[in-house]
């Protein structure tokens, strides 16, 4: 049986759904489609979503496009999106593309969850 990637874990906090990306690399189109197929169904109604990148060391620009689609869908449903655990190397990409000005980014999931209170 073929391994499904990227792997994620999901848990529900008091006021948010936390999605932790568990793969170091999210590079292939197939991985990004799989990730989208995993995240989009979680956005039904006004949901607060935290995406934790703590394990991710490499990602393609297509992941940034996915984040924009996720953000748009969450905003349409009057929810909130928080990102966290982004490595300094990947954060540079967010700065270059100015996505750090669009997304709320926190050091870790605990701080992201606190921001939703």
Span 3-20, mean pLDDT?
Answer: 85
Phi-psi region of 33 (alpha: psi -120 to 50; beta: other; left: phi over 0): alpha
Tell me how far apart the alpha carbons of residues 70 and 91 are, in angstroms, rounded to a whole number: 18
Instruction: Write the pLDDT tens digit of every residue in 32-71.
Output: 999 999 999 999 889 999 999 999 999 999 999 999 999 9
Task: Give the whole-angstrom CA distance, residue 112 versus residue 19.
Answer: 12
CB 56 within 8 A of CB 90: yes
pLDDT tens, position by position, 79-116: 999 999 999 999 999 999 999 999 999 999 999 999 99
pTM: 0.93
Q: Domains (ranges, CATH) in the chain?
A: 8-114 (3.30.750.24)
Confidence of residue 3 (pLDDT cuts 50, 70, 90): low
């Amino acid at each position: 049986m073929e391994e499904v990637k990227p792997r994620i874990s999901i848990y529900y906090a008091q006021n948010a759904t936390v999605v932790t990306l568990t793969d170091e690399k999210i590079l292939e189109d197939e991985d990004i489609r799989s990730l989208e197929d995993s995240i989009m169904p979680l956005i039904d109604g006004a949901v607060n979503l935290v995406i934790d990148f703590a394990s991710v060391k490499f990602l393609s620009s297509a992941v940034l496009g996915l984040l924009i689609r996720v953000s748009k869908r969450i905003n349409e449903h009057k929810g909130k999106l928080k990102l966290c655990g982004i490595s300094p190397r990947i954060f540079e990409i967010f700065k270059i593309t100015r996505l750090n000005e669009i997304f709320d980014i926190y050091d870790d999931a605990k701080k992201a969850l606190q921001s939703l209170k």
